[in-house]
Amino acid sequence: MRVPRIRRIRFATGGLALATAGALALPAGTAVAATAPVPPAATAAAATGPLVSYVVNTKANHGQVKKAEREITALGGTVVYSYEQIGVIIARSADTRFAAELRQSKTVDSVGASRTKGIVQNDLETATEVAAPAAAPADGTEPLEANQWDLRQIGADQAHRTTLGSRNVVVGVLDSGIDATHEDLAPNVDPALSVSCIDGGKPDTDWKAWQPTTSEHGTHVAGTIAAAKNGKGVVGIAPNVRLAAVKVVDDGGFIYPEYAICGFVWAGQHHFQVTNNSYYVDPWMFNCKADPDQAAISEGVRRAVAFSQRNGVLSVAAAGNANIDLAHKTTDASSPDDTTPASRPIDGSCLSLPVELPGVVVAAATGSNGDKSYYSSYGLNKVTVAAPGGDARYQTPDTPDKNGRILSTVPGNKYAYMQGTSMASPHVAGVLALLASSHPWAGPDELRHLLTSQADEHACPTSVYDPGGTGSYKATCEGGLQNNGFYGAGVVNAAKAVDWWRW
């Protein structure tokens, strides 16, 4: 989804450049032999259309991948990048019959266009900036910490009395880039582990490539996780862990499948402990098995997430901002979001990526009262835990500014308020970073268990959930105290994460 999306999770300022798929430059692909065999369907004349990217899934071995590359090239396509370790190839073609022809190959498991035509302007909620902070208070808190109601809600201030996190822990922020020059983030961003994935799904480690361009979203997310405790502005939940910027949002605000695949594989290759994913993969809010393109997208992203998990990574994803019951899906009216959305029926076989993939921790949002945020999507056995995401409409905190959104870093040594499950997810990632610091032996499964077992249980509301009383955000919470659709296992608790032996 286009970032900050999650309204869909988008919350940032600025208009974004408009481009079309047909205007995209072809990156250099893998060289292939001119004598590569041509599948039978390739004998027909090509039907030229806009340049489109494809996810091509084959067997995860060198021979099969190279054979598939040759067949892609023989059909007039270009290989952008190959992830042999998971058997996924990112390709491009302007032939409208490319996917149908390649699906005839016995080498290929599935093929899917990763986008429809064109890239549209991003749709972002404006972030509200705050004045530059004064000097740090005498009590040792950060200049703007008094307005961080969210940290106190989950006990992060108590956790910091015990630990600020370990430098051995790395959290990958798969987002729109991180401003590595920000005074609150520079101490913790690790350039050696940072990358951009938006060049067609190829990793680019150049420093400028992974800096933010059109969106503040990734920098805001990063501050919630690990803004340094240095007397400058705000403080993160785990202010001593390292951050890796993994840029998966292009200048149109989109997170296409090839970008996400690149990001998850990168995280696995570099053995991050945690990744934060405050988005859904474009252009489909839900990818349905019955559609060959969407099925191929789901398979490619699934393989990348599974690869990262096998390499020690636990990923957190935002549940979404559409107040959708993910356990009882019926309609998708927002897809495809890169051209013209059309309403379509959906069911449980249609998955939001990466939210509904195995092993992913799903974060729902709460407001300053600790209750479900009006916009937060939900679902029994879909939501893992809940965390502060803000709710400026119905929940007002008792802070100096009375702002119900989440205060964090934005580019240019600035600070701003945003809200969304985009903001809830990094709270969960920050708590997981503290858990990983306190439990260095723990792998993804153990960290997930620690997270859910130490969350503060939160029951469903006793009456119908209908904030505002208009029915616009009405929702039904299913489940009991220990697991329900609004809060999963409960609201995360940073204090318990570091002082686990006391609880």
Which residue in 175, 199, 250, 338 is the catalytic one?
175
Ramachandran angles phi, psi of 182, nearest 5°: -60, 135
Q: Exposure pattern of 465-482 as b/e (b: 16+ CB <10 Å)?
A: bebeeeeebebebbbeee
Beta-strand pair 314-318/274-277: parallel
**Cβ–Cβ < 8 Å for 485, 477:** yes
Which residue from 8, 51, 54 is spatially nearest to 297, judged by alpha carbons?
54
- Catalytic residue check, 422: yes
Q: Is 449 a catalytic residue?
A: no
Backbone φ and ψ for 366, nearest 5 degrees, come out as -120, 160
The Cα 54–Cα 31 span in angstroms is 18
Catalytic residue among 422, 425, 437, 438: 422
Q: Which amino acid is at 55?
A: V
**C-alpha angle with apex 183: 233 to 134, nearest 5 degrees?**
35
Q: Is 466 a catalytic residue?
A: no
Q: Cα 236 vs. chain centroid, distance in angstroms?
A: 18
What are the DSSP calls for 147-216, one per residue? G-HHHHHTTHHHHTTT----TT-EEEEEES---TT-TTTTTTB-GGG-EEEEETTEEE--GGGGS-SS-S
Catalytic residue (choose from 160, 182, 217, 270): 217
Query: Would strands 361-366 and 314-318 be described as parallel, antiparallel, or unpaired?
Result: parallel
Active site residue ranges: 175, 217, 422
